[in-house]
Amino acid sequence: KSITHTQALDEIAISAGFNHWHHVVQANDVLKPSEVALSSGCVMAFDVKDGMDVDTSDGVLIEDHLLEMLTEKQLFEIYANSPDEDDEQNRPLKETLSDSELHEYFRDYCSFMYFRLAEPHANKPLKEVLALIRQYSFWMPQYIWLQGHLIDTYHLPAEDENGNAVGVRF
């Protein structure tokens, strides 16, 4: 098949869900802050009910809807490999549910609001990040990506400014 370079770019772009190659270039500009935060900064995924109360008024935490697309595959794998609590053998969900059920339950039970830390705060160590998050949210996020590493923070208690536990998830 003999096609021009531009036609080849268009075919690849269309196969990835874009209208043509130029949309890929435009999307890259829009996605860049999200990708940088995910790979070398700090990203947080809050359960929707908790994320709605996150304070973003001073710009330290930035709500970022594009992060869902960038993290969905990784979070789906975590969900699919989690134990099925209704299974006596405690097998992973991917072994006890059909693909359609697995995707449906993931959409139903794994709904997140995503935030990234503004660049001046993005490279802090985890302990400082957790202290910073406490200033903006009662609950910790379910997941944090810090310099590209995923950390499950779901079971961390909500703490006051003195480090006393004031809320625990079950």
Residue 31 lies in a domain: no
Question: For the chain, how big is the Rg over CA atoms in Å?
Answer: 19
Residue 17 lies in a domain: no
Residue 107 lies in a domain: yes
What stretches of 56-109 show up as alpha helix (H) in DSSP?
67-81, 93-96, 99-109
Residue 26 lies in a domain: no
Our count of domains for the chain comes to 1
Give the pLDDT confidence of 105-148 residue by residue, as tens digits.
Answer: 999 999 999 999 999 999 999 999 999 999 999 889 999 999 99
Residue 101 lies in a domain: yes
**pTM for the whole structure:** 0.81
Which residues form the domain of 51? 40-167
Q: By three-state DSSP, how is residue 163 classified?
A: coil
End-to-end CA distance of the chain: 58
User: Burial, 141: exposed, middle or buried (Cβ in 10 Å; 0-12, 13-18, 19+)?
Assistant: buried
